[in-house]
Amino acid sequence: MLEDNANGLWRYTSTREKLSTLLQELQNKSIIFPFELEQLQRQAKAFSQDNNNHSPCFISGLHKDVIFLPSSHDNNSIDILINRNTEKLDFITQLPSKYALQRQIDFWLNNLHKDQIIALFLVELDEFSKVNDVLDHAAGDIVLYQAARRLEKLPNYNSKVVRLHGDEFAIVVQGFNNIEQAWEISSWFESQFKTPFIYNELPIYVTPSIGISAIPYVASNYIELLRTAYLALNKAKEDVTRISHFYEAKHAKDLIRELSIKTELSEELQEGKGIEVYYQPKQSLKSNKIEGIEALVRWRHPKKGLVSPADFIPIAEESELICRLTDYVIHKVCKDLSKLKKSGYHHQVSINISAKDFARNDFISDICHIVKQHKVNPKDIELEITEGAFISDVNHCSMLLNALRGFGFSISIDDFGTGYSSLSYLRKLPVDVLKIDMSFVKEIESSKTINRIYSALIEIGKALSLKIVAEGVDNPHQRTTLKSMDCDMIQGYLLSKPLPLDEFCEQVLSSTTI
Residue type, 122: L
Position of minimal CB gap to ligand C2E: 492
The reply to whether 326 sits near Ca ion by the rule CB under 5 A is no
Task: Please state the closest distance from residue 367 (CB atom) to ligand C2E, in A.
Answer: 13
Closest CB to Ca ion among residues 352, 410: 352
- Quick one: which of 312, 293, 292 has its CA closest to 301? 312
Report how far residue 321's alpha carbon sits from residue 262's, in angstroms, rounded to the nearest whole number. Answer: 8
The reply to whether 414 sits near Ca ion by the rule CB under 5 A is yes
The reply to whether 168 sits near Ca ion by the rule CB under 5 A is no
The reply to whether 352 sits near Ca ion by the rule CB under 5 A is yes
Which listed residue (2, 23, 92, 313) binds ligand C2E by CB under 6 A? Answer: 313
Task: Please state the closest distance from residue 326 (CB atom) to ligand C2E, in A.
Answer: 6
313's contact among ligand C2E, Ca ion, none, with CB below 5 to 8 A by partner kind, is: ligand C2E
Task: Please state the closest distance from residue 413 (CB atom) to ligand C2E, in A.
Answer: 11
The reply to whether 354 sits near ligand C2E by the rule CB under 6 A is yes
The reply to whether 415 sits near ligand C2E by the rule CB under 6 A is yes
Which listed residue (123, 197, 498, 508) binds ligand C2E by CB under 6 A? Answer: 498
The 8-class DSSP code of residue 9 comes to E
Residue type, 315: I
Closest CB to Ca ion among residues 141, 317: 317
Closest CB to ligand C2E among residues 104, 491: 491
- Say how many C-beta atoms besides its own lie within 10 A of residue 417's C-beta: 17
Report how far residue 30's alpha carbon sits from residue 505's, in angstroms, rounded to the nearest whole number. Answer: 75
Which SS3 state, helix, strand or coil, does residue 354 take? coil
The reply to whether 382 sits near Ca ion by the rule CB under 5 A is no
Closest CB to Ca ion among residues 380, 415: 415
The 8-class DSSP code of residue 61 comes to T
Which listed residue (167, 291, 415, 488) binds Ca ion by CB under 5 A? Answer: 415
Task: Please state the closest distance from residue 365 (CB atom) to ligand C2E, in A.
Answer: 19
Task: Please state the closest distance from residue 441 (CB atom) to Ca ion, in A.
Answer: 11
- Say how many C-beta atoms besides its own lie within 10 A of residue 13's C-beta: 16
- Give the interface segment with Ca ion, choosing from 37-45, 68-76, 336-344, 463-471 (CB under 5 A): 463-471
- Quick one: which of 13, 489, 41, 67 has its CA closest to 281? 489
Report how far residue 394's alpha carbon sits from residue 422's, in angstroms, rounded to the nearest whole number. Answer: 11
Task: Please state the closest distance from residue 457 (CB atom) to ligand C2E, in A.
Answer: 16
Report how far residue 363's alpha carbon sits from residue 459's, in angstroms, rounded to the nearest whole number. Answer: 32
The reply to whether 420 sits near ligand C2E by the rule CB under 6 A is no
Which SS3 state, helix, strand or coil, does residue 203 take? strand
- Say how many C-beta atoms besides its own lie within 10 A of residue 29's C-beta: 14
Task: Please state the closest distance from residue 497 (CB atom) to ligand C2E, in A.
Answer: 7
Which SS3 state, helix, strand or coil, does residue 63 take? coil
Own/partner long-range contacts of 85-94 (Cβ < 8 Å, ≥24 apart): 85/8, 87/30, 87/31, 87/32, 87/33, 88/31, 89/30, 90/163, 92/141, 92/144, 92/145, 92/163, 93/144, 93/145, 93/147, 93/148, 93/163, 93/169, 94/145, 94/148
The contact pattern for ligand C2E, residues 454-493, with x = CB under 6 A and - = no contact, is: -----------------xxxx----------------xxx
Which listed residue (93, 186, 352, 478) binds ligand C2E by CB under 6 A? Answer: 352
- The residues of the shown chain that bind ligand C2E, judged by CB under 6 A, are 280, 296-297, 308-310, 313, 326, 329, 352, 354, 384, 414-415, 438, 471-474, 491-493, 498
